[in-house]
């Protein structure tokens, strides 16, 4: 492995750990505020990644490193989780839905903040629009060296990864967060029937397989639209 690829992989891992930690901490904080202290007692209401890594060492550390290596340094995948009380969720399905929405909302916030930083840097002529976009190269320094060159890749990864996590987790398929949102708009009786259906054996695996299959056609136009907001007048296919 080259030194450049090692640094890129370390950048991806740091951004991934921070982004997933904030995602799960948002779930945990929302649950605590809405009446379920389970994740709080597990230490998940924290921006310290260790409690989250301890709960999901494979999903937060080993699999991300493996996926980065297998993709040739193009991207990184993984997962994390926060515990909750299923009895609380069954009794308060609307609160549980808000708790589920908190994680993707945290990723959207990070995508907006990193996107705003890229846009402001572009307007200040510190950043340029790359000729070709990759997940690790959404922006580049306008000159050689300097602070812009140092932050261009981390900002690019923050923007892409958090936009990806936001969109992926909102897919209405179990076990993704989006599958818990419909009870916000259903009657109590309909919500109970819906949640009972979600707990059918094997549905989580089917949901993940379907999500993996349909994600790219959904994400690609959203990604292209977001790039158009960063660089008005420049078109990326």
pLDDT recorded at residue 107: 98
**For residues 225 and 236, what is the distance between their CA atoms, to the nearest angstrom?**
9
Closest C-alpha to 167, from 222, 120, 206 = 222
pLDDT recorded at residue 34: 98
What is the full DSSP assignment across 21-87?
Answer: HHHHHHHHHHHHHTT--HHHHTT-SSS-HHHHHHH-HIIIIIHHHHHHHHTTSS-----------HH
**For residues 135 and 76, what is the distance between their CA atoms, to the nearest angstrom?**
10
pLDDT recorded at residue 44: 97
Mean pLDDT in order along the chain per 10 residues (237 residues)? 92 98 98 98 97 96 96 94 94 96 98 98 96 96 89 98 98 95 91 88 90 96 96 90
pLDDT recorded at residue 234: 93
DSSP 92: -
pLDDT recorded at residue 82: 96
pLDDT recorded at residue 171: 97
**Cβ count near 217 (within 10 Å):** 8
End-to-end CA distance of the chain: 31
DSSP 236: -
Rounded to two decimals, what is the model's pTM?
A: 0.95
């Amino acid at each position: 492995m080259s030194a450049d690829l090692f640094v890129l992989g370390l950048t991806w891992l740091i951004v991934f750990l921070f982004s997933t930690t904030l995602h799960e901490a948002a779930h945990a904080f929302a649950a605590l505020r809405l009446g379920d202290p389970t994740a709080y007692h597990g230490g998940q209401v924290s921006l310290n990644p260790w409690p989250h890594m301890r709960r999901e060492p494979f999903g937060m550390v080993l699999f991300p490193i493996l996926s980065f290596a297998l993709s040739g340094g193009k991207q990184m995948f993984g997962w994390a989780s926060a515990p909750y009380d299923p009895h609380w969720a069954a009794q308060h399905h609307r609160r549980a839905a808000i708790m589920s929405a908190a994680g993707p909302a945290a990723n959207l916030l990070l995508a907006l903040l990193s996107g705003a930083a890229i846009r402001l840097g572009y307007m200040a002529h510190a950043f340029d629009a790359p000729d070709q976009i990759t997940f690790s190269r959404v922006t580049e320094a306008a000159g050689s060296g300097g602070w812009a060159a140092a932050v261009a890749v981390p900002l690019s990864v923050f923007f892409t990864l958090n936009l990806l996590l936001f969109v992926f987790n909102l897919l209405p398929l179990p076990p993704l967060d989006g599958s818990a949102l419909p009870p916000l708009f259903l009657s109590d009786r309909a919500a109970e029937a819906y949640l009972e259906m979600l707990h059918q054996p094997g549905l989580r695996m089917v949901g993940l397989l379907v999500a993996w299959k349909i994600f790219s056609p959904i994400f690609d136009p959203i990604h292209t639209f977001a790039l158009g907001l960063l660089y008005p007048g420049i078109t990326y296919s």
